[in-house]
Amino acid sequence: MKISSPLVQMTVALVALTVTLLMLADLFFGVLSNRDVEMMRARKQIGESLAVQAAALMERDERELLQRTLSSVLERNAEIRSLAIRRADGQMVMQVGNHQEAWREAAGERSTMNQVAVPLHAGAGRWGQFEVAFRGPTGNAVVRWLSEPMVLVLLFMSTVGAVGFGLYLRRALQHLDPASVIPERVQGAFDTMSEGVVVLDTRGRVLLTNKAFRALHDEAGAARTGVVLSSLPWLAPSLPADPAEHPWARAMNDRAAVTGLRLDIRAAEHDRHLVVNCAPIADPGGAARGCLATFNDMTELHRANAQLRDTLEQLSSSNAMIELKNQELHRMATRDSLSGCLNRRAFHEQLAPLFARSQKQGFPLTCVMIDIDHFKAVNDTHGHATGDRVIQEVAKQIAAAAQGDDLLCRYGGEEFCLVAPNLGVEETRALAEQIRQRVERDVNVALHDVPQLKVTVSVGVHTRGAGAATVGELIDRADQALYRSKRTGRNRVSMFAGPQAASLVL
């Protein structure tokens, strides 16, 4: 677990040092008592005392008195399980209590915590031994361990020492705090600054912070004197992984200012965007003695920029939508809704400058008038819905035959007008014939589901250069040629031959 407070760190270190010294003193000098050793010594004394009394009574051959004495000892001492006198050859001379169950022969002549054996001598030789079997320890092992003198002393030193050392060090650090020697007017001057300010020592530890820095984050107030700035939990994730790349470390190592470093930190309410500038603090000899770091909170500026970008995107989207609406309105204003061709107003608006340019530059301008044959009969026989489909399919075939610069208009109910620039006589004839053939072939295929329907068109053509001086005259002469096709049998192409001559029929 990471201990962030220097006060806690030093307190723990001093307590650990004290406990270690106490344990070493006990190791070398035995200053602390051991409960097991003391108990073993006491039990040996009891065994030896009883052995002396037993030997004296045995020597006087007062066995009955010895039996009563041992029984009395067993009754009064709850720690003793049994007592016995055993000869050297192993024969039991006397016992009190269930000695055979309590005594473990594996112990031999050695005394243990629960078995004390005292040798008995007769003359110069060993006669036997006096045996005392004690009860083993009872109760919880952890509780017994915690009640050991050494453990109690260590726990006492750890608890009381932590409190005592902590209070003492806290007061000492208050006197040694570098911030305490900074005049209040200097601290006040830093606190009036709108940007966060931190003064660091050569190890990156905080010496001074101002009010603006402590307001950067809910946990920024924990950046007290002595805390390593890079270790602050709210700041560390946004810093480079290499401590040498931290801006204050770079400033002190390079002895040059580091500016414009952007840090994004997490906060409870919203993320904050900071710009960090660091300048080294040098002594008169040029050696780095610390660093001055400033933190500019650019969060509001970033938020304003983001809102501005959103507004511009919405405006751009609105402009694009308006442009689409304008295009749609323009199409509705200039196009026939059924066929998709230019309406008459838009057709004449575009034809007038084209006709004028044709007159000025001298290139030919061809007008082709197309009329659907017997269209009234189509509506009367098959209905207006079929009539609309016929108009749409005829317009599609005319548009397919036209070029990119041509103007196509739905001139009337079933009548279309196509104006094409830069076509010669043969090209004009070929265009008109292509339109007629495409309608006769492809429109009837597209409308094969309508029984007994046959769609054809009559076509009239006139090219400027054969006498048409105005737009109206160009269209009128093409219209005259169209009526020539209708009079001569329909489903054919007629070209206007001249004011006094009859129209040519192709």
Q: Which residues are catalytic?
A: 414
Q: Nearest-CA neighbor of 416 among 400, 430, 429? A: 400
In this structure, how many other beta carbons lie within 10 angstroms of the beta carbon of residue 231?
15
Cα distances (angstroms) measured from residue 329 to each of 334, 348, 440 = 8, 18, 34
Amino acid 298 reads M
Helix residue ranges, H only, 138-238: 141-146, 149-176, 184-191, 211-214
| 69, two tokens | 């004495």
Q: What is the 3-state secondary structure (H, E, C) of 439-472?
A: HHHHHHHHCCCCCCCCCCEEEEEEEECCCCCCHH
Token digits of residue 120:
């008995």
CA atoms within 13 A on the CB side of 503: 25
Note whether 82 and 50 are within 8 A (CB).
no
d(CA 473, CA 462) in angstroms, rounded, equals 10
**For the CA atoms of the chain, what is the radius of gyration?**
59
Q: In what order do the strands lie in the sheet with 258-265?
A: 206-209, 196-200, 288-297, 272-282, 258-265
In whole angstroms, give the CA distance from residue 495 to residue 440: 19
Closest CA to 295 of 279, 277, 280, 281: 277
Token reading at 405: 């610069």
Looking at 250-361, which runs of residues are DSSP E strands?
258-265, 272-282, 288-297
Instruction: Give the max Cα distance, the chain.
Output: 181
